[in-house]
Amino acid sequence: MKKVRIFVTYKESVFDPQGETITAAVKSLGFPEVKKIGVGKFFDITLSDEADLDQTIPAISEKLLVNFNLETYRYQVLEEQK
């Protein structure tokens, strides 16, 4: 099995309201050392050994996982067994 983690974040230019809210909440809880919190999601994907990662990962990101108007992604191969 192959394992890949896809990270999805807002684009730099897009306002991250959840991150702003959490940052304000953490500061108000008494953590002035926290300067900024950004929020993202990730997908841990298990694929069969035959999967072509360079093809499958961009394809499912574009078709389902990522909203390219607001978001961007990158991925990391966690495990690749032959």
Does residue 11 belong to the site contacting its own copies (CB under 8 A)?
Answer: no
Least CB distance to its own copies at residue 74 (A): 12
Does residue 68 touch its own copies according to CB under 8 A? no
Q: Does 17 bind its own copies (CB under 8 A)?
A: no
Under the binding rule (CB under 8 A), the answer on residue 43 touching its own copies is: yes
d(CA 21, CA 53): 36
Q: Does 70 bind its own copies (CB under 8 A)?
A: no
| CA–CA distance, 34 with 64 (Å, rounded to integer) | 33
In whole angstroms, give the CA distance from residue 79 to residue 3: 5
Q: Which two tokens stand for residue 78?
A: 């966690």
- How far from each other are the two terminal CA atoms of the chain, in whole angstroms? 8
Tokens of 42: 């990730």
Size of the site for its own copies (CB under 8 A): 33
Contact set with its own copies (CB under 8 A) = 1, 7, 9, 22, 25-26, 29, 31-48, 50-51, 56, 59-60, 63-65
